[in-house]
Chains A and B, each alone.
Chain A
Amino acid sequence: MNVLIIAAKEIHQAIRNRWVLAATLLLAGLALSLTFLGSAPTGNVGVRALDVVVVSLSSLTIFLVPLIALLISHDAIVGEMERGTMLLLLSYPVARWQVLLGKFLGHLAVLAFATCLGYGAAVGALAATGSQIDNDSFLAFAAMVGSSVLLGAAFVAIGYLVSALVRDRGTAAGICIGLWLLLVLIYDMALLGVLALDQGRSISAAVLNALLLANPTDAYRLINLTGFANVSTFAGMAGLAQTSSLTIPVLLTALLGWTLLPLGLAALAFSRREL
């Protein structure tokens, strides 16, 4: 009950602060531009437009959704402490884990709303312009939207963990930007570099799989680019899809783990904090 009260307030605040509007417009704008411009490289002949959209949108999601998630989550705890509102909230009959879970549900709802509506606009636009959308493509798209929300959940949880550990908002923001750069940009480049240097001598397939699961954005990428046969051909990942032993349930579990573990640790850190 307390969790829902706090979640409702977070949503209310996000609507007031125009977070919901901004995130939805941003995602919808990008989704629509990718939908109409993105088919340029493949042309329109015989291409199932929605599959192309899935490939390009999921690549975009990897950059954008973690960023939005970290933006709304990094000051959830330390920011409220600095503003002094946490002091009052914790004098009420609520447990600290309820505060954290309530905020999480609220932020996740905001993110899910923005993603579903923003990306849904792309499907709507395609349908309106008379493109053929078959069931397979639609399934791949729905999975993309669902996993995008899950990716967002993971980064909201990571943001909370940072927020629960640091002393001030500036530090939280700095660390979150660093984490974003690391997980979204640097990790893959470093991994590629290591693989190129190693030439398959010491890094086995199992180690590679583990390394891919150790980054939520890679788990997300694999779900969307290799998970569906018709999509993976466009993504140029068909070869990888056949050899990879990382099935969708494994990848989803990894993403879920990336959500629950930081969330649990954040709750632990928050419960130990003095303010």
Chain B
Amino acid sequence: MTSTVRVSDVTKAYGRVEAVRGASFALGQGELVALIGHNGAGKTTLMKLMLGLIRPSKGAIEVLGDNPAAGEFAGRRQLGYLPENVSFDPALTGRETQAFYARLKREPVAKALDLLDAVGLGAASRRRVSTYSKGMRQRLGLAQALLGAPRVLLLDEPTTGLDPELRQTFYDIIARLAAAGATVLLSSHALTELEERAGRVIIMNRGIKVADGSINELRRLARLPTRIRLKVAGLAPSEMPTWAPQDTTCRRLNGHIVEIDAAPERKIELLHRATAAGNAVEDVDVVPPTLDELYAHFLRQSEQAP
């Protein structure tokens, strides 16, 4: 796998505050990477470093063969960026804005304007940007980021302000680009959305990379219990099923649902027990730890570490 973005031991300090501390990772072609972390964790700083908008205090960055800190920008023709809270010159219309950015990337203007339809801006593209709602600005932001089949896409909170329908379209477009070999780095708070889409997750906390891997790898690392939810008939509200082992945590969710926390290696055993003959189990749900829970876990872990 060829990497398109390489971040080697990068630290970025603003005065005494270190926004990013010793972060290292490489992003490969065709990867869809979610960058998660709370506000101030260093997500935006990392993207700005990749764009050369700021220079690292220590370490080196390479994006599509360029060193952005040295002002090299040849590779940026194949790079798309959507900043958090994207803004445009209010006096120009959506079409004029898109045409301007297309010219800067030496892309045919007609093709660029088609992207406006693809993100559903349609008729509004002839109006001035000053009349746009947050969602419409976000659509225009996406359209400009998608200009010219980018090989690297840096998207900072791309889905804020998008309605559910467009979110779906957006993720479809992103998935298609990643399948065609583009590297997509996406920061977001909407963890549930990313769960099934991101092939890889990087978790940042206070400027430090605390976890990096596919969701399954992170689940293995975190060793969080899988929750087994059982619908049991004929069980009194406070009663626990008799077959449940004493050393696992069980709780009652409501009238007839029992939830059992199963350690990864005991999952099958517990399922066997539950479905064994004679138990009045009517339904089973197996819920693996969500990205939300993994995120919280790694955050806790990094807070406890010295």
A residues at B contact (CB < 8 Å): 2, 5, 9, 12-13, 16-17, 83-85, 87-88, 90-96, 271, 274-275
Contact = CB atoms under 8 A, between A and B. Distances in A.
A221 B77 CA distance: 47
Given A5-B100, A5-B103, A85-B89, A91 B53 contact: yes
B189 interface: no
18 contacts: A5-B100, A9-B89, A9-B100, A13-B89, A16-B91, A17-B91, A84-B87, A85-B88, A85-B89, A91-B51, A91-B79, A92-B105, A94-B104, A96-B71, A274-B53, A274-B54, A274-B55, A275-B54
A16 B89 CA distance: 11
Contacts of B86: 84, 88
Contact of A95 (B54, B71, B85): B71
Q: How many residues of B sit at the interface, in one of the four size bands?
A: 20 to 34
Most buried by B among A2, A83, A88, A274: A88
A96 B70 CA distance: 12
B289 interface: no
Contact of B92 (A13, A87, A92, A96): A13
Contacts, number: 64
Contacts of A87: 53, 83
A93 B104 contact: yes
A87 B44 CA distance: 12
B54 to A, nearest CB: 4
A144 B88 CA distance: 38
Interface in B73-122: 73-74, 76-77, 79, 81, 83, 85-89, 91-92, 96, 100-101, 103-105
A167 to B, nearest CB: 13
A95 B73 contact: yes
Interface in B53-70: 53-55
Nearest to A13: B91
Interface of B: 48, 51-55, 71, 73-74, 76-77, 79, 81, 83, 85-89, 91-92, 96, 100-101, 103-105, 141, 144, 154
B76 A92 contact: yes
A271 B52 CA distance: 11
A83 B87 contact: yes
A84 B85 contact: yes
A17 B92 CA distance: 9
Contacts of B141: 88
Contacts of A90: 51-53
A93 B103 contact: no
B53 A271 contact: no
B272 to A, nearest CB: 55
B270 to A, nearest CB: 51
B47 to A, nearest CB: 9
Contacts of A94: 73, 104
A88 B53 CA distance: 10
Given A12-B96, A85-B89, 18 more contacts: A9-B89, A12-B92, A13-B89, A85-B88, A88-B144, A90-B51, A91-B76, A91-B81, A91-B83, A92-B101, A92-B104, A92-B105, A93-B74, A94-B104, A96-B71, A274-B54, A274-B55, A275-B54
A78 to B, nearest CB: 15
Contacts of B154: 91
Contacts of A96: 71
A275 B76 contact: no
Nearest to B51: A91
A84 B101 CA distance: 15
Contacts of A92: 76, 101, 104-105
Nearest to B66: A93
A95 B85 CA distance: 23
